[in-house]
């Protein structure tokens, strides 16, 4: 297997590793929880162990891989091989030489990229965006991340492009986890939704969201808990998700008005969980805000699902 590559999607709750062949078909995979304490070196060790396990499933040693790509949150300096300010990871406010640390553990060259951008690149190359010259990836999860492909190439700006979650949809609006006001993420991100649900519940609004969370032994309102609450007709959950979809519609349509991209792909924990019916709702919510509404972009669900980030990371090692 001379062209086998590794890919690691580093998330705030899980580390997903894959080993793929030269055509990006997944040969082996492993998923480990992200350490919640310690520091960057502990996270790097957990990443190495996930990748080793994925490689084991294919009968390969990590050192035999052509390379290993990593999709990371925070500010990624691909050239220097460092990740800074990954605030949803333990003790990672500063700068850490992740590429060097991982390469030392695995014995293979390591390439870093931004988590959301590599997931968008994977959809552009292999998934729902195949054959498109321009693409907007929207990852609706704990936050709302975005990735951009323009003229067949990733658009990174000066390194921080694609922050679609922080498109302002309401001046002076709700406080966003980023500290500013009125961002799309303040209405649509899973973390913001949970905070809003807690506030309203504390004010006396009835909801089964937190009962469902306890019954299923979850530490937070996961995408699965939201989906169940909607199935049960929970009024508060319905109201908040309606508001989230409205916010996504306004924010994504505004981005499309600026970029005029051919397609939008929707992924992330909530995006994948709500699936095609959720995508249809986002499509409808975008429509009133589209400047050229007779020619909307294709809006599609990610085709690579949960593994898209790790498969996209492996593309960095081509
Ligand atoms: Zn924000």
pLDDT in tens, 220-229: 999 999 999 9
**What's the CA-to-centroid distance between 7 and ligand 1, angstroms?**
29
**What's the CA-to-centroid distance between 165 and ligand 1, angstroms?**
6
Helix (H) or strand (E) holding 25, with range, is none
**What's the CA-to-centroid distance between 140 and ligand 1, angstroms?**
14
Q: Is the pLDDT of residue 180 over 90?
A: yes
**What's the CA-to-centroid distance between 177 and ligand 1, angstroms?**
6
- In the prediction, which pLDDT does 284 show? 98
Of the pLDDT bands very low, low, confident and very high (cuts 50, 70, 90), residue 160 is confident
**CB-CB contact of 263 with 299 (8 Å):** yes
* Burial of residue 303, with CB atoms counted within 10 A of its CB: 0-12 exposed, 13-18 middle, 19 or more buried: middle
- In the prediction, which pLDDT does 158 show? 87
**CB-CB contact of 50 with 16 (8 Å):** yes
Share of the chain above pLDDT 70, in %: 100
Q: What Å distances lie between residue 245 and 148, 250, 274, 300, CA to CA?
A: 21, 9, 11, 15
**What's the CA-to-centroid distance between 53 and ligand 1, angstroms?**
36
- Residue among 262, 234, 18, 38 nearest 134 (CA): 262
**What's the CA-to-centroid distance between 160 and ligand 1, angstroms?**
13
**What's the CA-to-centroid distance between 155 and ligand 1, angstroms?**
20
Q: Is the pLDDT of residue 1 over 80?
A: no
Cα 40 vs. chain centroid, distance in angstroms? 20
Dihedral sign for Cα 191, 196, 201, 206, please.
Answer: negative
Question: Which residue's entry shows tokens 């850490």?
Answer: 96
pTM of the model: 0.91
The three-point CA angle 88-215-267 to 5° equals 45
Per DSSP, the three-state class of 14 is: strand
**What's the CA-to-centroid distance between 273 and ligand 1, angstroms?**
23
Residues 105-115 have a mean pLDDT of 96
Long-range CB contact pairs, 232-235, < 8 A, 24+ = 232/208, 234/207, 234/208, 234/209, 235/206, 235/207
- In the prediction, which pLDDT does 285 show? 98
Structure tokens at 150: 């323009």
């Amino acid at each position: 297997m001379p062209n086998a590559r590794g890919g690691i999607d580093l998330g705030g709750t899980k580390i997903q590793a894959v080993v793929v062949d030269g055509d990006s078909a997944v040969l082996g995979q492993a998923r480990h929880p992200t350490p919640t304490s310690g520091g960057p070196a502990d996270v790097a060790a957990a990443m190495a162990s996930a990748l080793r396990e994925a490689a084991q499933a294919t009968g390969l040693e990590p050192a035999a891989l052509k390379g290993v790509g990593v999709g990371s949150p925070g500010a990624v300096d691909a050239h220097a091989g460092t990740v800074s300010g990954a605030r949803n990871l333990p003790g990672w406010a500063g700068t850490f030489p992740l590429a060097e640390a991982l390469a030392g553990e695995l014995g293979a060259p390591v390439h870093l990229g931004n988590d959301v951008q590599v997931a968008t690149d994977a959809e552009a190359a292999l998934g729902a965006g195949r054959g498109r010259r321009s693409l907007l990836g929207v990852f609706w999860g704990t936050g709302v991340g975005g990735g951009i492909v323009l003229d067949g190439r990733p658009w990174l700006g000066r390194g921080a492009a694609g922050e679609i979650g922080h498109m302002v949809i309401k001046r002076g609006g709700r406080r966003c986890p980023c500290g500013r006001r009125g961002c799309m993420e303040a209405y649509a991100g899973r973390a913001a939704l949970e905070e809003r649900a807690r506030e309203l519940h504390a004010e006396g609004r009835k909801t089964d969201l937190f009962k469902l969370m306890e019954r299923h032994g979850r530490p937070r309102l996961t995408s699965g808990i939201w989906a169940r609450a909607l199935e049960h007709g929970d009024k508060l959950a319905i109201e908040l998700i309606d508001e989230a979809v409205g916010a996504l519609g306004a924010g994504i349509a505004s981005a499309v008005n600026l970029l005029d991209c051919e397609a939008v792909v929707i992924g992330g924990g909530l995006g994948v969980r709500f699936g095609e019916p959720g995508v249809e709702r986002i499509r409808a919510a975008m429509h009133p805000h589209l400047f050229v509404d007779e020619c909307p972009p294709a809006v599609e669900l990610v085709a690579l699902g949960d593994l898209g980030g790790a498969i996209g990371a492996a593309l960095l090692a081509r």
